[in-house]
Structure 1
Amino acid sequence: MGNLIDSYYERLRYYEEQLMDDLAELVAIRSVRDLESKDSNSPFGMGIRDAFDKMISFAERDSFINVDFDGYALHIESGQGEEVIGILAHLDIVPEGEKDDWSFDPFILTNHDGFLYGRGVNDDKAPALASYYAMKILRDLGFVFNRKVRLILGGAEETSWECMDHYFKYNPQPIMAFSPDGDFPIVNGEKGVIQGSFYLKDDELPIKESQHDLLVIESEKQRGFICENLIVKFHSHNPNSLKDILIEAAEVHCDNEIVTAIYRGEKTLSRNPHKGANAIFKFGRDLMCIEGGIGKGRNFKGLLERFLLDDVHGEKMGLYDEDSEMGETTLSIPYVLYKGREFEIAFDYRFPKSRTQENVQNKLTEFSVINCLSLEISKVHQPLYVHPDSELITTLQQAYKRVTGENAELMTKGGISYARALNCGVAFGPSFQGDTPNTHKQNEKIRIETLYKAIIIYCETLRLLATR
């Protein structure tokens, strides 16, 4: 077996320069969803269309069959046979944010200290190319595919997932598949997801004896992270005493009777709210210290205290659950907005297979009715779980061990990968334990060693799944 793995590495060394050139060309394309530039063959905008065209040019250069499905998705194919082995990756990216926050230009592939930097380099352009080069290496080495291998590339993974809906209208499901958009060893479980907002009406008028009234709460309206920055404004009859209470604020400013407090948390993915400090919780702890005398905002204060404050698992709302195979529920608050009449409190709830989507939605509806809230659901995904004894899992484990020498342990994540679009699929790489790819953050990166090892693992995986 060692000679076979060595032959993969030898062929990868032959392609190393071309791989880096291809990745640089993909990273240079700002493939962010832009509906203002959409067209008949570019439903997600010209940036994503350009990324599709670039990938098609690689396939045509290398004489692979490729089919474009109206700009929603494309596939690149190798091998023969009725059965299909799938690899699902995506070419769209999230926006880069402030370029000044990057150490390197996010759209110039930068090789620094053993890492490659650039937006999309880990999520998901380098992993997509890793899978593509695995197909090339196996073909070069003369392996005969008795199952078709299709690298299926979508254009809306970071947004609406219309790409996969469209693709599978015209193509059968693979019998087995993986998505190189997670972690090694094997992500055989992905928690269910329900994202949405609660809306809470506040009293029209402050109570007469109130000392402090909430005027405004502002935070970035995004759902991918817990609340990182929060600006709160009060009208106060005693601003100096209020300033002394707001001890967790990073800054407090008084302008006559207007008190402005700025709270800062940590940039932490909303699927992992336990890993970072939420600015809303800092504000909430200060708000709880305002004893009596709170007028406008007291409804929010009560809701926060009873059901949300410092709870990252949904226990206070009766949503906590734990599954021996998939772990605990998580609940995060990505943002809160208020301009004097109604609060919007965004939530991101993730749950194991011991709960169902219907059960959770019923619980949320019941909670909303009891507490006089309006409920809006914006995104729903059922849990994904592939049994450890399945052919897919056992084959991936075999491939992983042959390359790394280590057992491929199974894990559950809170993230959302294309594996959810499959009847039988899991997330499989590219990151290893200890990697910090900065997914969706500034300075997104992938370790070169990680990328190369992923390619070799994918070579052996496809050999086992699809060749004689």
Structure 2
Amino acid sequence: MNNFIQFYYEKLQFYEEQLMEDLAELVSIRSVRDETTITNHAPFGRTIRDAFDQMKSIAERDRFLHEDFDGYAVHLEHGSGDEIIGILGHLDIVPEGDKEDWTFDPFTLTEHDGYLYGRGVNDDKAPLLAAYYAMKILRDLNIPLKRKVRLIVGGAEETTWECIDHYFKYNRQPVMAFSSDGDFPIVNGEKGVVQGSFTLNNEHPSMNKSPHLLLEIQSEKQRGYICEKCIAIFESSSPESLKNLLLEADEVIISNQTVTAFYKGEKTLSRNPQKGQSGFFKCSKDLVGIREGIRNAEEFIRLLETFFLEDVYGKKMGLFHEDQEMGISTMGIPYVVYDGDHFEVAFDYRFPKGQTLDLAIETLQSFSDQNHLDLIIHKTHDLLYVEPDSKLIRTLQQAYIAVIGENAGCITKGGISYARALENGVAFGPTFIGDHPNTHKPNERIRIETLYKAIIIYCETLRLLAS
């Protein structure tokens, strides 16, 4: 361990109580985008504005130079020099969901069994403060820097990214940078993303004597998770026989001639659909199994069986790609709904090198045209890949090895971090292999040891990058 790292740990110990107080203040703010409270200098709503103000108050207390960019973003600075080393983070969060699913109050920072709990504690409030305290420790130690260190804080990372687009209209890119919103060792690859939906106009019920009619399919219109819960509602002249055919359903309720089937999977991020069970797949299996008995939805069921069922990699649509360094493509289904007239199936496609954004959209459009579907593209991001032998990666590896004592390999993730907004940047921490932070889920958390290690790694990283 070099002398610098010993000094970092000593300073961190001095600031430990203040760090927890600052984090508690930020976690207490429900900084979810709220368009009903938009005002001047609060383009994402009042609570995100409150989070920015709290971060500015922390910077003012510690006498850091800072600047507010119309409520879209804020930056804080240490050092001087013509070139900038950047750290990107964000203060907006996703909603907490059902509080009944939380063990602890999501907006009260809670320490339990070596972890800190609270919405946003891992994504991205504690990592943001880790970078901030690294800047603070470097300044306290009077370590000379040749480049300016700038912490850039956005307010719409979880939604539209207007924050970072607005910021870089008025500020030049850092020469090297990282986002504190990923994993250790180094996320040098982030898969490309196409999110959207297919819509099918349903055929009229046929005149055959099939006993069952599909009335409705319900699931939450969400983005970011696979379809966890799905409800199919039928009208049937033989409800008991239909119930016996719904083999995948977790529960079936009969009320006169109405049969309602409930399907439950696992809450799983749509960027990793292979890691969880889909309620949509369970429902699809039953629909395929009883198709001869349903007098509508024939074309929809054909599509389910041919192109969607049990395919989490995009193989059936011709979207599968594999890259030696970035891995394989994935295709998640966040929701499926049917209102009696239209079926809608949402998708979340993520792809490695070897696929391009333009080709992916072209393939999706061709698939839609061939199957008489309407295609709507909701969001796209091109893939990110930084060569492992670049100066940025080699410097991050040097810092990681100095602190952790292990080699720092490069990994690819399906997630979307601010690194994509950088000309020369990657996601770097805070999550270590073996951590389970429950990002975007109930009981979001960060290991205290993980947070402290991240601070020390960021101290050494900034020292190396800026000097």
Does TM, normalized by the shorter one, top 0.5?
A: yes
Provide the C-alpha distance between the structure 2 equivalents of 1:294 and 1:357, rounded to a whole number of angstroms: 38
Shift of 1:3: 2.3
**Residue aligning to 1:38:** 38
Provide the C-alpha distance between the structure 1 equivalents of 2:439 and 2:455, rounded to a whole number of angstroms: 20
Provide the C-alpha distance between the structure 1 equivalents of 2:323 and 2:336, rounded to a whole number of angstroms: 30
Work out whether residues 190 and 384 of structure 1, in 8 Å CA contact, stay in contact via their aligned partners in 2: yes
**Residue aligning to 2:104:** 104
Provide the C-alpha distance between the structure 2 equivalents of 1:190 and 1:212, rounded to a whole number of angstroms: 45
Bigger shift: 160-169 or 197-206? 197-206
**Residue aligning to 1:157:** 157
**Residue aligning to 2:180:** 180
**RMSD across aligned C-alpha pairs, in angstroms?**
0.8
**Residue aligning to 2:261:** 261
**Residue aligning to 2:411:** 411
| Pairs within 5 Å for 1:346-365 | 346-365=346-365
Provide the C-alpha distance between the structure 1 equivalents of 2:399 and 2:275, rounded to a whole number of angstroms: 32
Normalising by the residue count of structure 2, what TM-score does the alignment of the two structures yield? 0.99
What's the % identity of the aligned pairs? 66
Shift of 1:291: 4.8
Q: Does 1:230 align with 2:224?
A: no
| Pairs within 5 Å for 1:375-414 | 375-414=375-414
SS at match of 1:41: coil
Shift of 1:206: 3.4
Shift of 1:286: 1.3
Structure 2, unpaired ranges of 5+:
none
Work out whether residues 84 and 150 of structure 2, in 8 Å CA contact, stay in contact via their aligned partners in 1: yes
**Residue aligning to 1:195:** 195
Shift of 1:436: 0.4
Q: Which one-letter code corresponds to 1:360 in the other structure? A: A
Q: Which one-letter code corresponds to 1:376 in the other structure? A: I
Q: List structure 1 segments (4+ residues) > 4 angstroms apart after TM superposition.
A: none
Q: Which one-letter code corresponds to 1:23 in the other structure? A: L
**Residue aligning to 2:438:** 438
Work out whether residues 215 and 235 of structure 1, in 8 Å CA contact, stay in contact via their aligned partners in 2: yes
Work out whether residues 291 and 298 of structure 2, in 8 Å CA contact, stay in contact via their aligned partners in 1: no
**Residue aligning to 2:425:** 425
Work out whether residues 365 and 375 of structure 1, in 8 Å CA contact, stay in contact via their aligned partners in 2: yes
Q: Does 1:123 align with 2:123?
A: yes
**Residue aligning to 1:370:** 370
Provide the C-alpha distance between the structure 1 equivalents of 2:145 and 2:89, rounded to a whole number of angstroms: 21
Q: Which one-letter code corresponds to 2:274 in the other structure? A: H
Q: How many residue pairs end up in the alignment?
A: 467
Normalising by the residue count of structure 1, what TM-score does the alignment of the two structures yield? 0.99
**Residue aligning to 2:280:** 280
Q: Which one-letter code corresponds to 1:372 in the other structure? A: H
Provide the C-alpha distance between the structure 2 equivalents of 1:6 and 1:317, rounded to a whole number of angstroms: 54
Structure 1, unpaired ranges of 5+:
none
Which whole-Å deviations, capped at 9, do the CAs of 1:83-128 have from their partners, x for residues lacking one?
1000000000001111121111111100111100011000000000
Which whole-Å deviations, capped at 9, do the CAs of 1:216-273 have from their partners, x for residues lacking one?
0000000110011111101112111111111111100111211100000100000000
Provide the C-alpha distance between the structure 2 equivalents of 1:281 and 1:250, rounded to a whole number of angstroms: 13
Shift of 1:356: 0.7
Shift of 1:208: 2.5
**Residue aligning to 1:140:** 140
Which whole-Å deviations, capped at 9, do the CAs of 1:23-76 have from their partners, x for residues lacking one?
000001110000111111100001000000000011111111100000000100
Provide the C-alpha distance between the structure 2 equivalents of 1:211 and 1:79, rounded to a whole number of angstroms: 75
Which whole-Å deviations, capped at 9, do the CAs of 1:394-435 have from their partners, x for residues lacking one?
000000000000000100000000000000110000000000
